[in-house]
Amino acid sequence: MSADDELIRKRQRDRALVMALLLGAFVILMFFITVAKTGLNW
């Protein structure tokens, strides 16, 4: 694997990781939005 290929793989891995974290945060945010909108107390 050339240095360029390695750099491409590393960038892809980093971006996938950031995307996964953002999607996880979005799911948690939607959960709390739903709780707030429905007026549930827990």
Partner 1 sequence: MQSLDMTPAALLPADWRDFLALTKPRVMSLVVFSGVCGLLAAPAMPPFALGFTAILCIALGAGACGALNQWYEVEIDARMRRTAGRPLPAGRMSRDSALHFGVGLAVFSVLLMGVATNWLAAALLAVSILFYVLVYTVWLKPRTAQNIVIGGAAGAFPPLIGWVAATGHFAALPLFLFAIIFLWTPPHFWALSLFIRSDYAAAGIPMLPVVAGARTTRRHIFFYSLPMALAAVAPWLLGLTGPLYGIAATGLSTLFIVLAARVLSNRATEPSEMRPEKKLFAYSVVYLFALFGALVADRWIVW
What is the contact surface with partner 1 in residues (CB under 8 A)? 4, 7-8, 11-12, 14-15, 18, 29, 32-33, 35-37
Min CB(40)–partner 1 separation in Å: 10
Structure tokens at 15: 């971006």
Q: What is the rounded CA–CA span in Å between residue 19 and residue 30?
A: 16
Min CB(24)–partner 1 separation in Å: 15
Q: What is the rounded CA–CA span in Å between residue 36 and residue 31?
A: 9
For partner 1, the closer of residues 7 and 24 by Cβ is 7
Amino acid identity for residue 33 in this structure: I
